[in-house]
A and B are shown apart, each in its own frame.
Chain A
Amino acid sequence: MLETLNRSGQDSVGNSAVSVKNLHIRFGADDSGFTALSDVSVEIPAGSLVTMLGPSGCGKSTLLRTVADLVHITDGSVSVHGQTPRKAREGRDFAFVFQEATLLPWRNVIDNVRLPLLVGKREAGATYADPEELLALVGLKGREKSMPHELSGGQRQRVAIARALVTRPRILLMDEPFGALDEITRDKLNEELLRLWQETGTTILFVTHSIPEAVFLGQHVLMLAAHPGRVKEFMKVDLPYPRSLAMRDTVEFIQVTAHLRKLLGEC
């Protein structure tokens, strides 16, 4: 915790975890290329859980990948705790969870969780989480020695989340992490993600194409419009935490999803 306070002292913008200003992303050559994001500006408050929604082609994954230093910035700026995405990546400031679990099939569960500790530049004196504790946190205690092919899709994604948390990132970037799972598993993991978020205080940026998922998880929902990708709305979800799955049947919840569905229709 002390370390987090020290580092946030360098922040140029108040208590934003991610600050995006006038971001333009273009792919390909000037005339034949296409614009993925056009003049996107948004502030992601530190410690918040922001879900990103939008029609396909709206660039929500591109925005997430830009924050993760996987996409070259054409114009504008992205700052992660006051640093460039590249510096933030090198400082292990964020971790990424993909739609695929991307586990190495020849490593057992615990060794997959340890992978971030074995590669890349490791800061001297940096403290990392205990892989075994993290597995317990994601509900896989006792499965340390299992191989990935012995796990279900949901369990593999839990391992991927534990692996993301092992470097104690301040920001967790999630790109449709539960998109390939069945609804029951997805509901369960949604609830557990909320619990993880409340226990760890990590800022979470979560891309999804499911409106109920976006509302259930999100403190804020960032809605993007397509062609070109731009911010449609950045709204606060006024539903209290802790949230349970039953909340999804309340009038308040349905009002929010109805509003978003209408907005999505306009995109």
Chain B
Amino acid sequence: MANALPSQAEGRALTDGNRFRMLDTAAGAVLRHLPATLAILGCILLWQLVVWGFSVPTFMAPGPVDVIKAFGENAGVLWTNFWPTLMEAVLGFIFGNVIAVLLAVWFVYSPLAERAFYPIAVIIKSIPIIALAPILVLLVGNGIAPKIIIAGLICFFPTLVNMVQGLKSASPAMLDLMRILSASNSEIFWKVRLPGSLPFLFAALKIAATSSVMGAIVAEWIGSSYGLGALIIEATYNFRSPLLYATVVIAASLAVVLFFAVSYAESKIVRWKPTTDH
């Protein structure tokens, strides 16, 4: 094995790579996250102390203890309203991103299509999502469909922009090389453009993961009788503040879980770093 080792100067890049990977060991991870964990616990403690110290009424701002109690008392309600929102967010995430990726592929291979439809994508993006919700309810009814569409629309635009950029990120020299190898368009797509676009795609997917939950909740505000969004409206109108807070915590946790799910998929799929030649 010894004779297979690179010379010292040329091998330096390798040892650096190993050292970075060492940081990802479990012990290192705990240590790295310790400051953030302590800071969060500190904030929660401070919140409880403020609520106690200034005798803030529960309907105005419940303390952490009230919120934790609300979780226990409303477990059933939270659970039944959690599933529709998860479903809408995930389906919206899938449809929005699949359509965005397909459109990006079309744009990259047809500059005419890009010139024609890119502005429309920008116009749709610039309509406030909350203003779009009632329009969709009128169009497709009050079922799960408008929620999925809104969650999907929110995911759609960042993915479209990033994916177009990612598919175009192949270097001119790389494309020249493929031409010299007489590679077909589909070979260039599958072997060069698509893998090269993955870091761009995942950057967008991480944004989409959290915003799809937001899209689903906003959609549920408009005349819905189920879902975390509907629960938020109901709890607010009935001054059930601990339940409102508990719902918000669940919604935020859902977004965080989806974000880490996408990050995990990224770490399994994109196992390379871009090389900089200069």
Residues of A within 8 A of B (CB): 65, 68-70, 89-90, 92, 94-96, 98-106, 115-116, 118-121, 141-143, 146-156, 180
> Which residues of chain B from 153 to 198 have a CB within 8 Å of any chain A CB?
171, 173-174, 176-184, 187, 191-192, 195, 198
Main secondary structure of the interface of A (DSSP, over half): loop
Give Cα A90 to B179, complex, Å: 10
With A70-B179, A142-B3 given, is the CB distance from A100 to B277 under 8 Å? yes
Give chain B residues whose Cβ lies under 8 Å from the Cβ of A96.
176-177, 180
Q: Is B268 an interface residue (CB 8 A)?
A: no
8 interchain pairs (CB within 8 A)? A69-B180, A70-B176, A100-B278, A106-B195, A142-B6, A152-B9, A152-B12, A155-B6
Give chain A residues whose Cβ lies under 8 Å from the Cβ of B4.
141-143
Give chain B residues whose Cβ lies under 8 Å from the Cβ of A106.
195, 198, 270-272
Q: How far is the CB of A115 from chain B (nearest CB, A)?
A: 7
Contact B275 A148 (CB under 8 A): yes
Contact A180 B275 (CB under 8 A): no
> Which residues of chain B from 39 to 79 have a CB within 8 Å of any chain A CB?
none
- Partner of A100 from the list B173, B182, B270 (CB cut-off 8 Å) is B173
- Partner of B183 from the list A102, A120, A154, A180 (CB cut-off 8 Å) is A120
Contact A151 B10 (CB under 8 A): yes
Give the contact-size bracket for chain B: 35 or more
Give chain A residues whose Cβ lies under 8 Å from the Cβ of B17.
149-150
Contact A98 B176 (CB under 8 A): yes
Q: Is B29 an interface residue (CB 8 A)?
A: no
Q: How far is the CB of A133 from chain B (nearest CB, A)?
A: 15
Give Cα A265 to B111, complex, Å: 45
Greatest chain A CB density within 10 A among B17, B171, B195, B277 is at B277
Q: Is B5 an interface residue (CB 8 A)?
A: yes
Give Cα A118 to B190, complex, Å: 12
Give chain A residues whose Cβ lies under 8 Å from the Cβ of B171.
100, 102
Contact A121 B10 (CB under 8 A): no
Give chain B residues whose Cβ lies under 8 Å from the Cβ of A103.
275
Q: How far is the CB of A73 from chain B (nearest CB, A)?
A: 16
13 additional A-B pairs beyond A120-B183, A141-B4, A142-B5, beta carbons within 8 Å, are: A70-B179, A96-B177, A98-B177, A100-B278, A101-B275, A104-B192, A104-B195, A115-B191, A119-B182, A119-B183, A147-B273, A150-B14, A153-B277
Give chain B residues whose Cβ lies under 8 Å from the Cβ of A142.
1, 3-6
Contact B277 A156 (CB under 8 A): yes
Give Cα A65 to B173, complex, Å: 11
Contact B181 A119 (CB under 8 A): yes
Contact B182 A90 (CB under 8 A): yes
Q: Is B274 an interface residue (CB 8 A)?
A: yes
Give Cα A102 to B191, complex, Å: 13
Contact B182 A121 (CB under 8 A): yes
Q: Is B13 an interface residue (CB 8 A)?
A: yes
With A119-B187, A120-B187, A149-B274 given, is the CB distance from A68 to B180 under 8 Å? yes
Give chain A residues whose Cβ lies under 8 Å from the Cβ of B5.
142
Give the 10 A-B residue pairs with the shortest CB-CB distance, closest first. Answer: A142-B4, A120-B182, A119-B183, A100-B277, A149-B273, A106-B272, A152-B10, A98-B173, A120-B181, A119-B187
Contact A151 B180 (CB under 8 A): no
Give chain A residues whose Cβ lies under 8 Å from the Cβ of B179.
69-70
B11-34 CB mask vs A (1 if < 8 Å, else 0) is: 111100100000000000000000
Contact B195 A149 (CB under 8 A): no
Q: How far is the CB of B247 from chain A (nearest CB, A)?
A: 42
Residue of chain B at shortest CB distance from A184: B9
Contact B181 A115 (CB under 8 A): yes
- Partner of B14 from the list A115, A116, A146 (CB cut-off 8 Å) is A146
Give Cα A142 to B10, complex, Å: 14
Q: How far is the CB of A70 from chain B (nearest CB, A)?
A: 6
Give chain A residues whose Cβ lies under 8 Å from the Cβ of B178.
119
Give Cα A19 to B192, complex, Å: 33
Give Cα A253 to B12, complex, Å: 35
Residue of chain B at shortest CB distance from A143: B6
Give Cα A243 to B229, complex, Å: 78
Give Cα A94 to B178, complex, Å: 13
Give Cα A99 to B278, complex, Å: 10
Give chain B residues whose Cβ lies under 8 Å from the Cβ of A94.
180
With A120-B187, A146-B14 given, is the CB distance from A105 to B275 under 8 Å? yes
Q: How far is the CB of B19 from chain A (nearest CB, A)?
A: 12
